[in-house]
């Protein structure tokens, strides 16, 4: 097959975050191959980290992603704390609980963001509005705990930067209570609505073997029956003191990915509630001074899966090397098998189902296999995806 | 037998330097010629998960650390290989063993200039098309 024509459309506008370019090769309705082109948003953060001292790096890596903006600083401080003997050795008990609260709040807001966009792609804009409406109180909780709705600046080596005030705890609990019925609503929609099921079931399936081969992580792996969750496998924060479950689904299709994420929301709420109840009084920072030479690895379960930071220290106040691997790096690559074999009308949905940032789908193009001409752009694909839902609703499909 | 012992037994004297700085962190070095076989053993036979690889420019040469995860125990096995030849650094690709290594090898190739032999699709991943050939941003000699 010829892969000659590569014409990205549209200007690369600074307002569009995370531009990725998927080039689908189609034969009629069927996707036969896919090219994934990334790098438009490469900012050289690993190189930049080598010129910052250990205390500055969390602010830098926090800006890798605005959605999982606590996962990167968390994985980074864990990697440095690995050099110091481990998180539990250097971080005070209260700070462990605060770290877990931030980590789980972030998972809730990220999963809701994803759910809303899946709703939008299949033409259910009500799901979109509801999901994002219910994401607002989560951001309010963030503002209450950290002072920021995004980029929380909470993490530092040896602790956290800001305490949760006692008077805020009842308000946080009340917000969580009010939020839980929204999860019931979403789960009900996934379970009962025949059109949503019709659009998600059996679509974009990643088999267990494919998931292993492409080394996918997070909900993308768990929806294919792979039992991994860094929170359980290599616990961090206060998670071992709490009662919660890892959610595993077997089917590997988008319905399984959606169900897994919605069920995870319940677990997040459970975890946060227990943290707020059990959090002991005390210090929140151990004031770490020197970082020894050596190598440290930090891993957290970001909303999209394992986020890993590898730090090499030569005993100075700057990392000699910081290697970052975000979960989307492996998950997006797996679209190579996830989308191929499906129809074009499911493509936008399949590519979005691994939860990359969504602007990526605006960079889609469809190329006819026989003529190598571009026939559709990203918005055409979203429209096609929405039309299929309409057809199912009206009984035409 | 636990996984640590099985790796030690199967690899034998291919392991050059075994270190366990903490309970869940295992580092060992191997000769670069053995990487393909080691990756196949860890991934295919022992069922470890590949997470990523870190390429670093060190005074001794270009180093690649392959991070494999053993999730049932939450352990990280980091396999180090050193490529002393800075002019023509080359190592076998492990992408033929499993697809999950494709992107990271492309990244290391463009960032550090390490050639991965038998890689099925060795082309730029992150750098722009007009980035100068032969300028590797993560090499120490690169001026930022």
Write the ipTM. Answer: 0.93
Question: Cα(A302)–Cα(A148) distance, rounded to whole angstroms?
Answer: 19
Decide the pairing of beta strands A155-156 and A305-313: unpaired
Residue range(s) defining the domain that contains residue B58: 3-117
Residue B17 inside a domain? The answer is yes
Q: Considering the domain boundaries, does residue B36 fall inside one?
A: yes
In a domain, B124, yes or no: no
Three-state DSSP at A48 gives: helix
Please name the residues in contact with A336: beta carbons below 8 A apart, sequence gap of 6 or more.
A34, A36, A214, B99
How far are the Cα atoms of A38, A214, A370 from residue B49, in angstroms, in the given order?
24, 10, 39
Q: What is the pTM of this model?
A: 0.90
User: What is the separation, in whole angstroms, between the first and last Cα of chain B?
Assistant: 49
Note the pLDDT of residue A361.
36
Residue A165 CB contacts under 8 Å (≥ 6 apart), including other chains: none
* Residue with tokens 């296999």, as numbered in its chain: A369
CA torsion, ordered A245, B72, A258, A108, to nearest 10 deg: 50
**Is A318 within 8 Å of chain B by CB?**
no
Q: For the residues of A205-231, what is the DSSP string, one character each?
A: ---HHHHHHTT--HHHHHTTT----HH
Tokens of A176: 């969580």
Partner residue opposite B100 with nearest CB, options A86, A215, A320? A215
Q: Which of A42, A233, A325 faces B71 most closely, judged by CB atoms? A: A233
Structural domain includes residue B15 = yes
Question: What is the predicted pLDDT for the residue at A251?
Answer: 93
The overall average pLDDT reported for chain B is 93
* Strand pairing class (B115-117; B90-92): parallel
In terms of C-beta distances under 8 Å and separation of at least 24 residues, what long-range contacts does A152-155 make, across chains too?
A152/A62, A152/A69, A152/A70, A152/A102, A153/A58, A153/A59, A153/A62, A154/A70, A154/A73, A154/A98, A154/A99, A154/A102, A155/A58, A155/A62, A155/A70, A155/A73, A155/A74, A155/A76, A155/A77, A155/A99
Distance separating alpha carbons of residues A117 and A352, to the nearest angstrom? 8
Q: Mutate which of A221, A310, A311 to test chain B, going by most B C-beta atoms within 10 A?
A: A310
Whether residue B44 lies within 8 A of chain A, CB to CB, comes out as no
Cβ–Cβ under 8 Å, residues B77 and B54: no
Alpha-carbon span B69 to B137, nearest angstrom: 28
Tally the domains of chain B.
1
Name the pairing type of β-strands A364-368 and A21-27: parallel
Q: Of A278, A228, A271, nearest to A100 (Cα)?
A: A271
Q: Is residue B125 part of a domain?
A: no
Q: What whole-number distance in Å separates Cα of residue A275 and Cα of residue A95?
A: 11
Q: Are strands A305-313 and B115-117 parallel, antiparallel or unpaired?
A: unpaired
The pLDDT assigned to A8 comes to: 33
CA dihedral A209, A304, A225, A122 (to 10 degrees): -90
pLDDT at A343: 81
> Which residues in chain A land under pLDDT 70?
1-20, 356-378, 396-397
CA R_g for chain A = 21
- Cα radius of gyration (chain B): 16
Q: Determine which of B27, B48, B99 to mutate to test the interface with A (most A C-beta atoms within 10 Å).
A: B99
DSSP secondary structure of A112-153: HHHHHHHHHHTT-HHHHHHHHHHHHHHHHHHHHHHS-SS---
Give pLDDT, residue A366. Answer: 57
Q: What are phi and psi of A108, to 5 degrees?
A: -60, -50
Contact by Cβ (8 Å): A172, A98: no
Which residue in the set A46, A294, A306 is minimally distant from B51, CB to CB?
A306
Sorted by sequence, the CB contacts under 8 Å of residue A286 that are 6+ apart come out as: A90, A91, A92, A158, A159
Confirm whether B129 is domain-assigned: no
A153/A78 Cα distance (integer angstroms): 15
Spatial CA neighbour of A185 closest among A243, A133, A136, A110:
A133
pLDDT surpassing 90 at residue B36 = yes
Judging contacts by C-beta atoms under 8 Å, the chain A residues touching residue B69 are: 306
Measured between beta carbons, which residues in chain B are less than 8 angstroms from residue A327?
none
Give, to the nearest 10 degrees, the angle between helix A93-121 and helix A344-353: 170
* Helices vs. strands in chain B: H and E counts, helices first: 3, 7
Beta pairing partners, A143: none
Per DSSP, the three-state class of A374 is: strand
Q: Find which of B19, B46, B100 to mutate to test the A interface (most A CBs within 10 Å of its CB).
A: B100
Q: CB of A276 within 8 A of CB of A172?
A: yes
Strand order in the sheet with A364-368: A30-37, A21-27, A364-368, A374-377
CATH number for B80: 3.30.460.80
Which DSSP letter does residue A355 get? -
* B143 within some domain: no
Q: What was the pLDDT predicted at A216?
A: 94
B71 falls within a domain: yes
As a whole number, mean pLDDT of residues B119-126 equals 91
Q: Six-digit token pair at A163?
A: 């305490």
Q: Tell me what pLDDT residue A6 has.
A: 32
Contact A256, A223 (CB under 8 A): yes
Give the pLDDT confidence score for residue A16 in this predicted structure. 36
The DSSP secondary-structure symbol of A14 reads T
């Amino acid at each position: 097959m010829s892969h000659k024509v590569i014409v990205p459309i549209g200007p690369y506008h600074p307002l569009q975050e995370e531009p990725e370019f998927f080039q689908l090769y189609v034969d009629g309705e069927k996707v036969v191959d896919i090219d994934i082109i990334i790098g438009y948003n490469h900012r050289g953060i690993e190189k930049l980290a080598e010129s910052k001292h250990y205390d500055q790096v969390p602010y830098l890596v926090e800006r890798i992603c605005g959605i999982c903006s606590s996962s990167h600083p968390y994985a980074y401080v864990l990697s440095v704390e690995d050099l110091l003997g481990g998180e539990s050795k250097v971080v005070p008990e209260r700070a462990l609980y605060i770290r877990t609260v931030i980590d789980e709040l972030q998972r809730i807001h990220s999963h809701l963001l994803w759910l809303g966009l899946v709703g939008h792609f299949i033409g259910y804009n009500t799901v979109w509005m509801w999901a994002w409406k219910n994401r607002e109180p989560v951001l309010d909780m963030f503002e209450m705990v950290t002072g920021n709705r995004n980029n929380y600046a909470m993490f530092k080596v040896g602790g956290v930067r800001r305490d949760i005030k006692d008077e805020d705890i009842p308000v946080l609990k009340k917000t969580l209570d009010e939020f839980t019925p929204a999860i019931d609503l979403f789960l009900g929609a996934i379970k009962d609505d025949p059109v949503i099921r019709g659009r998600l079931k059996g679509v974009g399936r990643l088999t267990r073997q494919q998931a292993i081969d492409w080394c996918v992580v997070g909900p993308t792996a768990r929806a294919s029956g792979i039992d991994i969750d860094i929170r359980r496998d290599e616990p961090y924060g206060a998670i071992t003191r709490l009662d919660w479950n890892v959610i595993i689904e077997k089917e590997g299709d988008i319905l399984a990915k959606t169900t897994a994420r919605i069920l995870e929301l319940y677990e997040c709420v459970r975890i946060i509630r227990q943290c707020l109840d059990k959090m002991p009084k005390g210090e929140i920072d151990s004031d770490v001074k020197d970082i020894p030479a050596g190598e440290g690895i930090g891993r957290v379960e970001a909303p999209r899966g394992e986020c890993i930071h590898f730090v090499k220290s030569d005993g100075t106040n700057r990392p000699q090397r910081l290697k970052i691997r975000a979960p989307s790096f492996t998950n997006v690559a797996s679209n190579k098998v996830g989308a191929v074999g499906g129809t074009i009308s499911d493509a936008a949905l399949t590519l979005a189902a691994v939860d990359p940032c969504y602007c990526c789908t605006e960079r889609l193009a469809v190329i006819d296999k026989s003529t190598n001409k571009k026939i559709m752009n990203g918005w055409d694909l979203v429209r096609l995806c929405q039309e299929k839902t309409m057809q199912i609703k009206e009984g035409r499909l | 037998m636990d996984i640590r012992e099985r790796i030690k037994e199967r690899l034998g004297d291919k392991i050059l330097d075994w270190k366990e700085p903490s309970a869940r962190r295992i580092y060992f070095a191997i000769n670069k010629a053995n990487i393909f076989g080691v990756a196949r053993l860890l991934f295919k036979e022992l069922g470890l998960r590949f997470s990523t690889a870190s390429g670093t420019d060190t005074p001794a040469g270009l180093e690649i650390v392959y991070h494999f995860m053993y999730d049932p125990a939450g352990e990280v096995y980091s396999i180090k290989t050193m490529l002393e030849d800075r002019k023509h650094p080359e190592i076998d690709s492990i992408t033929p063993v499993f697809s999950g290594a494709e992107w990271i090898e492309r990244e290391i190739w463009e960032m550090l200039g390490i050639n991965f032999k038998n890689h099925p699709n060795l082309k730029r991943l992150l750098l722009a098309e007009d980035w100068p050939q032969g300028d590797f941003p993560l090499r120490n000699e690169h001026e930022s």
